Amino acid sequence: MGRWNKVCVVGLGYIGLPTASILATKGYQVLGVDIAERTVEMINKGKIHIVEPDLDILVKSAVNSGNLRASLVPDKADVFIIAVPTPFKDSYKPDLSYVESATSAITPYLGEGNLVILESTSPVGTTDKVYLQILESRSELKGKIFIAHCPERVLPGQILKELVNNDRIIGGVDSRSAEEAKAFYETFVNGEIYTTNAKTAELTKLAENSFRDVNIAFANELSIICHELGINVWEVIKLANKHPRVNILQPGPGVGGHCIAVDPWFIVNAAPNHARLIRTARHVNDSKPAHIVERVKEKASRFKEPIIACLGLSFKADIDDLRESPAVEIVKMLANDNVGKLLVAEPHVKKLPDSLAKFAEIELTEFNDALHRADIVLLLVNHRAFKDVDRDLIKGKIVIDTRGMW
Protein backbone atom coordinates (compact mmCIF):
# COMPACT_ATOMS: atom_id res chain seq x y z
CA MET A 1 0.00 0.00 0.00
CA GLY A 2 2.95 2.32 0.54
CA ARG A 3 1.86 5.87 1.28
CA TRP A 4 -1.86 5.07 1.13
CA ASN A 5 -3.80 3.47 3.95
CA LYS A 6 -7.28 4.96 3.90
CA VAL A 7 -9.55 5.14 0.86
CA CYS A 8 -12.91 6.90 0.61
CA VAL A 9 -15.16 5.70 -2.21
CA VAL A 10 -18.10 7.99 -2.99
CA GLY A 11 -20.96 6.17 -4.71
CA LEU A 12 -21.67 2.53 -3.87
CA GLY A 13 -23.28 1.36 -7.08
CA TYR A 14 -22.17 -1.10 -9.74
CA ILE A 15 -18.64 0.37 -9.84
CA GLY A 16 -18.12 1.91 -6.41
CA LEU A 17 -19.11 -1.07 -4.29
CA PRO A 18 -16.99 -3.68 -6.14
CA THR A 19 -14.04 -1.25 -6.14
CA ALA A 20 -14.39 -0.55 -2.42
CA SER A 21 -14.64 -4.29 -1.66
CA ILE A 22 -11.57 -5.20 -3.70
CA LEU A 23 -9.53 -2.44 -2.06
CA ALA A 24 -10.65 -3.65 1.38
CA THR A 25 -9.51 -7.19 0.62
CA LYS A 26 -6.14 -5.75 -0.42
CA GLY A 27 -5.72 -4.36 3.09
CA TYR A 28 -6.87 -0.77 2.67
CA GLN A 29 -9.13 0.81 5.27
CA VAL A 30 -12.09 1.70 3.07
CA LEU A 31 -15.00 4.00 3.79
CA GLY A 32 -17.82 3.69 1.28
CA VAL A 33 -20.13 6.69 1.02
CA ASP A 34 -23.63 6.75 -0.44
CA ILE A 35 -26.64 9.06 -0.16
CA ALA A 36 -29.06 6.10 0.17
CA GLU A 37 -29.56 5.19 3.82
CA ARG A 38 -30.82 1.69 2.98
CA THR A 39 -27.69 0.99 0.90
CA VAL A 40 -25.42 2.07 3.76
CA GLU A 41 -27.32 -0.06 6.26
CA MET A 42 -27.22 -3.17 4.04
CA ILE A 43 -23.50 -2.91 3.34
CA ASN A 44 -22.68 -2.47 7.03
CA LYS A 45 -24.53 -5.74 7.61
CA GLY A 46 -22.37 -7.41 4.96
CA LYS A 47 -25.20 -7.53 2.42
CA ILE A 48 -25.50 -6.08 -1.09
CA HIS A 49 -28.22 -4.13 -2.88
CA ILE A 50 -27.21 -5.06 -6.46
CA VAL A 51 -26.75 -8.33 -8.32
CA GLU A 52 -23.21 -9.18 -9.39
CA PRO A 53 -21.61 -12.65 -9.30
CA ASP A 54 -19.53 -13.24 -6.14
CA LEU A 55 -19.95 -9.65 -4.94
CA ASP A 56 -22.01 -10.77 -1.93
CA ILE A 57 -19.17 -13.01 -0.73
CA LEU A 58 -16.58 -10.27 -1.25
CA VAL A 59 -18.59 -7.59 0.57
CA LYS A 60 -19.35 -9.88 3.51
CA SER A 61 -15.68 -10.77 3.83
CA ALA A 62 -14.56 -7.14 3.55
CA VAL A 63 -17.05 -5.95 6.17
CA ASN A 64 -16.29 -8.81 8.57
CA SER A 65 -12.56 -8.07 8.31
CA GLY A 66 -13.22 -4.54 9.51
CA ASN A 67 -11.62 -3.03 6.40
CA LEU A 68 -14.90 -1.89 4.82
CA ARG A 69 -17.63 0.19 6.33
CA ALA A 70 -20.29 2.43 4.80
CA SER A 71 -21.48 5.89 5.75
CA LEU A 72 -23.72 8.71 4.56
CA VAL A 73 -20.86 11.20 4.88
CA PRO A 74 -17.14 11.10 3.93
CA ASP A 75 -14.18 11.29 6.27
CA LYS A 76 -10.47 12.00 5.97
CA ALA A 77 -8.54 9.60 3.75
CA ASP A 78 -5.44 9.33 1.59
CA VAL A 79 -7.32 8.52 -1.61
CA PHE A 80 -10.81 9.66 -2.66
CA ILE A 81 -12.57 7.85 -5.50
CA ILE A 82 -15.68 9.40 -7.06
CA ALA A 83 -17.90 6.74 -8.67
CA VAL A 84 -21.29 8.42 -9.03
CA PRO A 85 -23.72 8.47 -11.99
CA THR A 86 -23.28 10.88 -14.92
CA PRO A 87 -26.63 10.76 -16.76
CA PHE A 88 -27.96 13.34 -19.21
CA LYS A 89 -30.70 15.92 -18.84
CA ASP A 90 -33.23 17.21 -21.37
CA SER A 91 -31.89 17.61 -24.91
CA TYR A 92 -29.15 15.10 -24.03
CA LYS A 93 -27.12 17.62 -22.03
CA PRO A 94 -24.69 16.06 -19.51
CA ASP A 95 -25.91 16.11 -15.91
CA LEU A 96 -22.88 16.66 -13.69
CA SER A 97 -24.86 17.35 -10.52
CA TYR A 98 -23.86 14.03 -8.91
CA VAL A 99 -20.16 14.67 -9.57
CA GLU A 100 -20.48 18.22 -8.24
CA SER A 101 -22.27 17.01 -5.09
CA ALA A 102 -19.65 14.31 -4.50
CA THR A 103 -16.85 16.85 -4.94
CA SER A 104 -18.51 19.22 -2.47
CA ALA A 105 -18.89 16.37 0.01
CA ILE A 106 -15.20 15.38 0.02
CA THR A 107 -13.65 18.85 -0.23
CA PRO A 108 -13.72 19.62 3.54
CA TYR A 109 -11.84 16.38 4.25
CA LEU A 110 -9.02 16.85 1.74
CA GLY A 111 -5.46 17.36 2.88
CA GLU A 112 -2.04 17.91 1.36
CA GLY A 113 -0.82 14.91 -0.65
CA ASN A 114 -4.29 13.43 -1.13
CA LEU A 115 -5.21 11.71 -4.39
CA VAL A 116 -8.65 12.40 -5.89
CA ILE A 117 -9.77 10.05 -8.68
CA LEU A 118 -12.85 10.54 -10.85
CA GLU A 119 -13.95 7.12 -12.12
CA SER A 120 -17.35 8.26 -13.39
CA THR A 121 -17.49 8.35 -17.18
CA SER A 122 -17.59 12.07 -17.88
CA PRO A 123 -17.71 14.75 -20.59
CA VAL A 124 -14.39 16.19 -21.65
CA GLY A 125 -13.18 18.73 -19.12
CA THR A 126 -14.98 17.32 -16.08
CA THR A 127 -11.82 16.32 -14.18
CA ASP A 128 -10.44 19.84 -14.54
CA LYS A 129 -13.77 21.19 -13.26
CA VAL A 130 -13.51 18.92 -10.19
CA TYR A 131 -10.11 20.41 -9.42
CA LEU A 132 -11.35 23.98 -9.88
CA GLN A 133 -14.39 23.28 -7.71
CA ILE A 134 -12.12 22.04 -4.91
CA LEU A 135 -9.87 25.10 -5.17
CA GLU A 136 -12.84 27.48 -4.99
CA SER A 137 -13.20 26.69 -1.29
CA ARG A 138 -9.77 25.20 -0.56
CA SER A 139 -7.35 27.45 -2.47
CA GLU A 140 -4.53 26.48 -0.13
CA LEU A 141 -4.53 23.00 -1.76
CA LYS A 142 -3.44 24.30 -5.17
CA GLY A 143 -0.51 22.22 -6.35
CA LYS A 144 -0.63 20.13 -3.18
CA ILE A 145 -3.16 17.44 -4.14
CA PHE A 146 -3.30 15.03 -7.07
CA ILE A 147 -6.36 14.86 -9.36
CA ALA A 148 -6.87 12.21 -12.05
CA HIS A 149 -9.50 10.51 -14.20
CA CYS A 150 -9.52 6.72 -14.45
CA PRO A 151 -12.69 5.57 -16.23
CA GLU A 152 -13.99 2.11 -15.49
CA ARG A 153 -14.03 -0.44 -18.32
CA VAL A 154 -15.98 -3.32 -16.86
CA LEU A 155 -18.78 -5.55 -18.08
CA PRO A 156 -21.71 -6.14 -15.70
CA GLY A 157 -21.66 -9.80 -14.74
CA GLN A 158 -17.86 -9.86 -14.82
CA ILE A 159 -17.06 -6.72 -12.83
CA LEU A 160 -14.88 -8.26 -10.11
CA LYS A 161 -12.67 -10.03 -12.63
CA GLU A 162 -12.41 -7.12 -15.05
CA LEU A 163 -11.74 -4.48 -12.37
CA VAL A 164 -8.50 -6.29 -11.61
CA ASN A 165 -7.49 -7.71 -14.98
CA ASN A 166 -8.48 -5.08 -17.57
CA ASP A 167 -6.00 -2.50 -18.84
CA ARG A 168 -6.64 0.97 -17.44
CA ILE A 169 -6.18 4.51 -18.75
CA ILE A 170 -5.32 7.26 -16.29
CA GLY A 171 -5.42 10.94 -17.16
CA GLY A 172 -4.05 13.49 -14.71
CA VAL A 173 -4.64 17.22 -14.51
CA ASP A 174 -0.84 17.24 -14.57
CA SER A 175 1.83 14.58 -15.07
CA ARG A 176 2.49 14.18 -11.33
CA SER A 177 -1.19 13.40 -10.73
CA ALA A 178 -1.18 10.79 -13.49
CA GLU A 179 1.89 9.06 -12.08
CA GLU A 180 0.53 9.16 -8.52
CA ALA A 181 -2.76 7.61 -9.63
CA LYS A 182 -0.90 4.98 -11.66
CA ALA A 183 1.14 3.98 -8.62
CA PHE A 184 -2.08 3.58 -6.62
CA TYR A 185 -3.84 1.44 -9.25
CA GLU A 186 -0.76 -0.75 -9.58
CA THR A 187 -1.45 -1.98 -6.03
CA PHE A 188 -4.59 -3.84 -7.15
CA VAL A 189 -4.77 -3.90 -10.98
CA ASN A 190 -3.05 -6.67 -12.95
CA GLY A 191 -3.70 -5.14 -16.38
CA GLU A 192 -1.46 -2.61 -18.11
CA ILE A 193 -1.86 1.00 -16.99
CA TYR A 194 -1.40 3.83 -19.49
CA THR A 195 -1.05 7.47 -18.47
CA THR A 196 -2.11 10.58 -20.36
CA ASN A 197 -3.80 13.90 -19.62
CA ALA A 198 -7.31 14.10 -18.14
CA LYS A 199 -9.10 15.32 -21.29
CA THR A 200 -7.59 12.57 -23.42
CA ALA A 201 -8.61 9.93 -20.88
CA GLU A 202 -12.14 11.33 -20.78
CA LEU A 203 -12.54 11.31 -24.55
CA THR A 204 -10.94 7.86 -24.87
CA LYS A 205 -13.65 6.31 -22.70
CA LEU A 206 -16.37 8.13 -24.62
CA ALA A 207 -14.82 7.01 -27.91
CA GLU A 208 -14.76 3.38 -26.78
CA ASN A 209 -18.48 3.33 -26.05
CA SER A 210 -19.35 5.38 -29.13
CA PHE A 211 -17.45 2.89 -31.29
CA ARG A 212 -19.58 0.09 -29.88
CA ASP A 213 -22.76 2.12 -30.31
CA VAL A 214 -22.04 2.81 -33.99
CA ASN A 215 -21.39 -0.86 -34.66
CA ILE A 216 -24.55 -1.93 -32.85
CA ALA A 217 -26.50 0.68 -34.86
CA PHE A 218 -25.26 -0.91 -38.08
CA ALA A 219 -26.57 -4.30 -36.93
CA ASN A 220 -29.88 -2.82 -35.78
CA GLU A 221 -30.38 -0.92 -39.02
CA LEU A 222 -29.58 -4.08 -40.97
CA SER A 223 -32.20 -6.00 -38.96
CA ILE A 224 -34.85 -3.39 -39.84
CA ILE A 225 -33.90 -3.61 -43.53
CA CYS A 226 -34.07 -7.41 -43.43
CA HIS A 227 -37.51 -7.28 -41.82
CA GLU A 228 -38.69 -4.94 -44.59
CA LEU A 229 -37.31 -7.28 -47.28
CA GLY A 230 -38.48 -10.52 -45.63
CA ILE A 231 -34.94 -11.82 -45.10
CA ASN A 232 -33.53 -13.59 -42.02
CA VAL A 233 -31.09 -11.09 -40.51
CA TRP A 234 -29.39 -13.75 -38.37
CA GLU A 235 -28.49 -15.76 -41.48
CA VAL A 236 -27.27 -12.64 -43.31
CA ILE A 237 -24.95 -11.72 -40.43
CA LYS A 238 -23.72 -15.29 -40.01
CA LEU A 239 -22.82 -15.52 -43.70
CA ALA A 240 -21.37 -11.99 -43.95
CA ASN A 241 -19.12 -12.73 -40.99
CA LYS A 242 -17.52 -15.56 -42.94
CA HIS A 243 -15.55 -12.78 -44.66
CA PRO A 244 -12.14 -12.56 -42.94
CA ARG A 245 -12.42 -8.80 -42.38
CA VAL A 246 -16.12 -8.52 -41.48
CA ASN A 247 -17.47 -8.81 -37.95
CA ILE A 248 -21.06 -7.56 -37.76
CA LEU A 249 -22.47 -7.53 -34.23
CA GLN A 250 -25.80 -9.03 -33.22
CA PRO A 251 -28.87 -6.77 -33.40
CA GLY A 252 -31.30 -6.41 -30.53
CA PRO A 253 -34.30 -4.39 -29.32
CA GLY A 254 -32.15 -1.29 -28.76
CA VAL A 255 -29.21 -0.27 -26.59
CA GLY A 256 -29.35 0.17 -22.83
CA GLY A 257 -27.17 0.46 -19.78
CA HIS A 258 -25.35 3.30 -18.10
CA CYS A 259 -22.62 3.63 -20.73
CA ILE A 260 -23.34 2.94 -24.40
CA ALA A 261 -26.80 4.54 -24.33
CA VAL A 262 -25.46 7.68 -22.62
CA ASP A 263 -21.79 8.34 -23.35
CA PRO A 264 -22.04 9.10 -27.12
CA TRP A 265 -24.28 12.06 -26.30
CA PHE A 266 -21.39 13.59 -24.34
CA ILE A 267 -19.35 13.69 -27.55
CA VAL A 268 -22.31 15.02 -29.55
CA ASN A 269 -22.82 17.75 -26.96
CA ALA A 270 -19.13 18.70 -27.06
CA ALA A 271 -18.89 18.84 -30.88
CA PRO A 272 -22.46 19.02 -32.25
CA ASN A 273 -21.45 20.12 -35.75
CA HIS A 274 -19.00 17.29 -36.30
CA ALA A 275 -20.34 14.23 -34.45
CA ARG A 276 -22.70 13.34 -37.28
CA LEU A 277 -22.14 9.59 -37.45
CA ILE A 278 -22.20 9.22 -33.66
CA ARG A 279 -25.46 11.20 -33.46
CA THR A 280 -27.08 9.14 -36.22
CA ALA A 281 -26.08 5.89 -34.54
CA ARG A 282 -27.74 7.06 -31.32
CA HIS A 283 -30.94 7.86 -33.22
CA VAL A 284 -30.93 4.46 -34.94
CA ASN A 285 -30.52 2.61 -31.65
CA ASP A 286 -33.03 4.83 -29.84
CA SER A 287 -35.61 4.16 -32.57
CA LYS A 288 -35.32 0.37 -32.41
CA PRO A 289 -37.81 -0.09 -29.50
CA ALA A 290 -40.50 1.69 -31.55
CA HIS A 291 -39.81 -0.66 -34.46
CA ILE A 292 -40.27 -3.68 -32.18
CA VAL A 293 -43.51 -2.24 -30.78
CA GLU A 294 -44.91 -1.82 -34.29
CA ARG A 295 -44.11 -5.47 -35.06
CA VAL A 296 -45.94 -6.55 -31.90
CA LYS A 297 -48.94 -4.35 -32.74
CA GLU A 298 -49.14 -5.86 -36.19
CA LYS A 299 -49.33 -9.39 -34.73
CA ALA A 300 -51.60 -8.39 -31.84
CA SER A 301 -54.24 -7.00 -34.21
CA ARG A 302 -55.14 -10.61 -35.07
CA PHE A 303 -56.46 -11.21 -31.56
CA LYS A 304 -59.49 -9.77 -29.80
CA GLU A 305 -57.77 -9.66 -26.39
CA PRO A 306 -54.09 -10.47 -27.02
CA ILE A 307 -51.86 -11.73 -24.23
CA ILE A 308 -48.18 -10.93 -24.77
CA ALA A 309 -45.30 -12.58 -22.88
CA CYS A 310 -42.46 -10.06 -22.56
CA LEU A 311 -39.32 -11.98 -21.66
CA GLY A 312 -36.67 -9.91 -19.88
CA LEU A 313 -36.38 -6.34 -18.60
CA SER A 314 -32.66 -5.81 -17.91
CA PHE A 315 -30.46 -4.03 -20.45
CA LYS A 316 -28.33 -7.15 -21.02
CA ALA A 317 -28.35 -10.84 -20.23
CA ASP A 318 -28.12 -12.39 -16.76
CA ILE A 319 -28.03 -9.19 -14.67
CA ASP A 320 -30.61 -7.13 -12.77
CA ASP A 321 -29.59 -3.71 -14.13
CA LEU A 322 -32.57 -1.96 -15.75
CA ARG A 323 -30.86 1.38 -16.45
CA GLU A 324 -31.74 2.77 -19.90
CA SER A 325 -33.08 -0.68 -20.80
CA PRO A 326 -34.81 -0.88 -24.19
CA ALA A 327 -36.82 -3.83 -22.86
CA VAL A 328 -38.38 -1.65 -20.17
CA GLU A 329 -39.09 1.03 -22.78
CA ILE A 330 -40.79 -1.48 -25.09
CA VAL A 331 -43.02 -2.86 -22.33
CA LYS A 332 -43.95 0.68 -21.28
CA MET A 333 -44.80 1.64 -24.88
CA LEU A 334 -46.98 -1.47 -25.28
CA ALA A 335 -48.80 -0.62 -22.04
CA ASN A 336 -49.28 3.03 -23.02
CA ASP A 337 -50.80 1.95 -26.32
CA ASN A 338 -53.10 -0.64 -24.67
CA VAL A 339 -51.88 -3.36 -27.01
CA GLY A 340 -52.99 -6.15 -24.67
CA LYS A 341 -52.31 -7.99 -21.44
CA LEU A 342 -48.55 -7.99 -20.76
CA LEU A 343 -46.97 -10.87 -18.84
CA VAL A 344 -43.43 -9.91 -17.86
CA ALA A 345 -40.89 -12.61 -16.97
CA GLU A 346 -37.65 -11.25 -15.48
CA PRO A 347 -35.86 -13.79 -13.25
CA HIS A 348 -33.45 -11.20 -11.82
CA VAL A 349 -35.99 -8.84 -10.22
CA LYS A 350 -38.61 -9.42 -7.55
CA LYS A 351 -40.86 -6.51 -8.44
CA LEU A 352 -41.63 -4.30 -11.41
CA PRO A 353 -39.89 -0.92 -11.63
CA ASP A 354 -42.10 2.05 -10.76
CA SER A 355 -42.35 3.05 -14.42
CA LEU A 356 -44.16 -0.23 -15.16
CA ALA A 357 -45.88 -1.01 -11.84
CA LYS A 358 -48.44 1.76 -12.42
CA PHE A 359 -49.99 -0.13 -15.36
CA ALA A 360 -52.79 -2.56 -14.44
CA GLU A 361 -52.26 -4.55 -17.65
CA ILE A 362 -48.68 -5.49 -16.71
CA GLU A 363 -48.13 -8.59 -14.55
CA LEU A 364 -44.79 -9.92 -13.32
CA THR A 365 -44.85 -13.71 -13.53
CA GLU A 366 -42.71 -16.81 -14.05
CA PHE A 367 -41.17 -17.77 -17.40
CA ASN A 368 -43.21 -20.91 -18.05
CA ASP A 369 -46.45 -19.30 -16.85
CA ALA A 370 -45.94 -16.44 -19.30
CA LEU A 371 -45.28 -18.88 -22.15
CA HIS A 372 -48.30 -21.00 -21.26
CA ARG A 373 -50.77 -18.10 -21.18
CA ALA A 374 -49.47 -15.95 -24.04
CA ASP A 375 -50.65 -15.59 -27.62
CA ILE A 376 -47.49 -13.70 -28.56
CA VAL A 377 -44.04 -14.42 -27.13
CA LEU A 378 -41.66 -11.44 -27.26
CA LEU A 379 -38.07 -12.30 -26.31
CA LEU A 380 -36.35 -9.07 -25.26
CA VAL A 381 -33.32 -10.27 -23.24
CA ASN A 382 -31.23 -13.37 -23.92
CA HIS A 383 -31.06 -14.59 -20.32
CA ARG A 384 -29.66 -18.10 -19.86
CA ALA A 385 -32.92 -18.96 -18.08
CA PHE A 386 -34.79 -18.46 -21.37
CA LYS A 387 -32.48 -20.48 -23.59
CA ASP A 388 -33.90 -23.98 -23.09
CA VAL A 389 -37.49 -23.14 -23.94
CA ASP A 390 -40.10 -25.90 -23.93
CA ARG A 391 -41.01 -25.98 -27.62
CA ASP A 392 -44.43 -27.45 -26.84
CA LEU A 393 -45.28 -24.33 -24.81
CA ILE A 394 -44.71 -22.03 -27.78
CA LYS A 395 -46.11 -24.29 -30.48
CA GLY A 396 -48.77 -22.39 -32.41
CA LYS A 397 -47.88 -19.08 -30.78
CA ILE A 398 -46.45 -16.03 -32.52
CA VAL A 399 -42.79 -15.64 -31.54
CA ILE A 400 -40.80 -12.41 -31.95
CA ASP A 401 -37.19 -13.11 -31.01
CA THR A 402 -35.32 -9.78 -30.89
CA ARG A 403 -32.06 -11.45 -29.85
CA GLY A 404 -31.87 -14.41 -32.26
CA MET A 405 -31.63 -16.70 -29.24
CA TRP A 406 -34.04 -19.33 -30.55
CB 293, CB 326: distance < 8 Å: no
396: domain CATH number is: 3.40.50.720
Mean pLDDT of the chain: 95
| 1 found inside a domain | no
- The end-to-end CA distance of the chain, in Å, is 50
The residue annotated as part of the active site, out of 8, 150, 182, 205, is 205
Which pTM does this prediction carry?
Answer: 0.91
Does residue 74 sit in the same domain as residue 175?
Answer: yes
pLDDT of residue 51: 79
Does residue 185 sit in the same domain as residue 221?
Answer: no
pLDDT of residue 2: 62
CB atoms within 10 A of CB 61: 15
pLDDT of residue 85: 93
The residue annotated as part of the active site, out of 8, 150, 259, 310, is 259
Give the residue, 106 or 89, on which the prediction is more confident: 106
Report d(CA 300, CA 208) in Å as an integer: 39
**Annotation says 304 is catalytic:** no
Does residue 283 sit in the same domain as residue 304?
Answer: yes
Q: What is the mean pLDDT of residues 178-192?
A: 97
pLDDT of residue 90: 84
Report d(CA 108, CA 79) in Å as an integer: 14
Give the residue, 152 or 334, on which the prediction is more confident: 334
Does residue 176 sit in the same domain as residue 138?
Answer: yes
| 375 found inside a domain | yes
CB 81, CB 117: distance < 8 Å: yes
Q: What is the mean pLDDT of residues 110-114?
A: 97
| 406 found inside a domain | no
In the structure, what pLDDT confidence band is assigned to residue 287 with cuts at 50, 70 and 90? very high
pLDDT of residue 165: 95
In the structure, what pLDDT confidence band is assigned to residue 1 with cuts at 50, 70 and 90? low
**In which region does residue 267 sit, left (phi positive, over 0), alpha (psi from -120 to 50) or beta (all else)?**
alpha
**Annotation says 150 is catalytic:** no
For the chain, percent helix, then strand, then coil, each to nearest 5?
45, 15, 40
Within 13 Å and on the Cβ side, how many CA atoms surround 327?
31
Judged against a pLDDT cut of 90, whether residue 52 lies above it is answered with no
Q: What is the mean pLDDT of residues 192-205?
A: 98
CB 137, CB 106: distance < 8 Å: no
Domain carrying residue 78: 6-201
Report d(CA 83, CA 10) in Å as an integer: 6
Judged against a pLDDT cut of 90, whether residue 270 lies above it is answered with yes
Burial per residue of 267-281, b for 16 or more beta-carbon CB atoms within 10 angstroms, e otherwise:
bbbbeeeebeebbeb
- Tally of domains in the chain: 2
Boundary residue ending a domain (201, 224, 240): 201
